[in-house]
Amino acid sequence: MHILVTGGAGFIGSHFVLRHVEAFPNDSLVVLDKLTYAADKKFLSSVLEKIIFIEGDIADTKLVKELVSKHRIDTIVDFAAETHVDRSISDPYPFLQTNVLGVASLLEVCKAFPMIRFLHVSTDEVYGDLSDTDAPKKPLDPLCPSSPYAASKASGDLLVQAAVRTYGIKAAISRCTNNFGPHQAEEKFIPTVIRTALAGLPIPIYAEGKNKRDWLYVTDHCDALEVILTTPNAFDACRVFHISSDSEQKNIDVAKAILKILGKPESLLSFVRDRPGHDWRYALDSSETRSLGWKPNISFEEGLKKTVEWYRERSVR
């Protein structure tokens, strides 16, 4: 494969690139990343000689077309996005620019190069939230986003579906639950808990900390994407693949587990005013993706230890 990975210097994209280079040394990879605050090119330092790295914007259609043509790209894996819900509440416009117009730009490229397979990485947040008793969402359930972030991702997904129907491009959408692991931007929930706990500062927990998330270790997510990329017919009819770990945890329990690993007291937990529109729970039915032979390999406990260790090492450097 000749793959263009967008957002490959961010959290999930960087793990995908590192694993793909190791597992498929004969593939060629071009990474396109705008290098926003969430990116760190250093995550890719061990493979920079084996890939082509371009700093640029997915909304720059001319640039992406040039890259596709020059490097004979046959597959795009699209991780590029603005991703922090709280930022989207303060200022939605960067989210619309990248998550909607950026996706539209990549679809223009796919129109111009119809042999490309486009894997668009999306999120469980497009469905909105569930109550404690709701069944996990299935791939064809209606979208009902709550935050500007989720609405921008849902818009991107709808544009992909429309492009498949109208222009016949080859695309698939993956939707996953909350990822965790090394390389995640410091403002996200688990890195925030680790960072503030290490500093002995109050750890901000929204409301009573009872909101639930399903936690998927980042490399398990990347492995699921590889399975999709090698599944015959995956790109034929805009299939939607769910990726989840069935490991739901209350936020407060995640924070307590981190404190336990770090040997820090629970008195650091500090309850703060809830996020506006805060979704209660997400859950995805990933049985179809599992039927392709994928399953998560890293338990929540094991993944959390690895994650805490990575941030702890980074903090002492």
The footprint of ligand NAD on residues 217-236 (CB under 6 A) is: none
Residues 3, 4, 13, 47: which binds ligand NAD (CB under 6 A)? 13
Residue 187 CA from chain centroid, whole number: 15
The footprint of ligand NAD on residues 67-96 (CB under 6 A) is: 79-83
- Smallest gap, in angstroms, from Cβ of residue 56 to ligand NAD? 7
Residues 1, 54, 162, 185: which binds ligand NAD (CB under 6 A)? 185
- Smallest gap, in angstroms, from Cβ of residue 37 to ligand NAD? 8
Q: What is the residue-wise DSSP string for the chain? A: -EEEEETTTSHHHHHHHHHHHHH-TTSEEEEEE---TT--GGGGGGGTTTSEEEE--TT-HHHHHHHHHHTT--EEEE------HHHHHH--HHHHIIIIIIHHHHHHHHHHSTT-EEEEEEEGGGG----TTSPPB-TTSPP---SHHHHHHHHHHHHHHHHHHHH--EEEEEEE-EEESTT--TTSHHHHHHHHHHTT--EEEETTS--EEEEEEHHHHHHHHHHHHTSTTTTTTT-EEEE--S-EEEHHHHHHHHHHHHT--GGGEEEEPPPTT---B--B--HHHHTTT----S-HHHHHHHHHHHHHHHHH-
Catalytic, 285? Answer no
Residues 178, 247, 251, 289: which binds ligand NAD (CB under 6 A)? 178
Options 57, 78, 125, 220, the catalytic residue: 125
98 is an interface residue for ligand NAD by CB under 6 A: yes
Catalytic, 125? Answer yes
Distances (CA, A) of 62 to 57, 66, 166: 10, 6, 22
- Smallest gap, in angstroms, from Cβ of residue 158 to ligand NAD? 15
Catalytic, 37? Answer no
109 is an interface residue for ligand NAD by CB under 6 A: no
- Smallest gap, in angstroms, from Cβ of residue 67 to ligand NAD? 12
Build a one-symbol-per-residue string for 138-177: x at contacts with ligand NAD by CB under 6 A, - elsewhere: ---------------x----------------------x-
112 is an interface residue for ligand NAD by CB under 6 A: no
Q: What size, in residues, is the chain?
A: 317
Q: Among residues 214 and 252, whose Cβ is nearest to ligand NAD? A: 214
**Residue 37: Cβ within 10 Å count:** 10
Residues touching ligand NAD: how many (CB under 6 A)? 31
Residues 123, 219, 251, 307: which binds ligand NAD (CB under 6 A)? 123
35 is an interface residue for ligand NAD by CB under 6 A: yes
Options 82, 124, 157, 279, the catalytic residue: 124
Q: Among residues 215 and 235, whose Cβ is nearest to ligand NAD? A: 215
6 is an interface residue for ligand NAD by CB under 6 A: yes
53 is an interface residue for ligand NAD by CB under 6 A: no
246: left (phi over 0), alpha (psi -120 to 50) or beta: left
Applying CB under 6 A, which residues contact ligand NAD? 6-7, 9-13, 32-36, 38-39, 57-59, 79-83, 98, 102, 121, 123, 153, 176, 178-179, 185
Enumerate the active-site residues: 124-125, 149
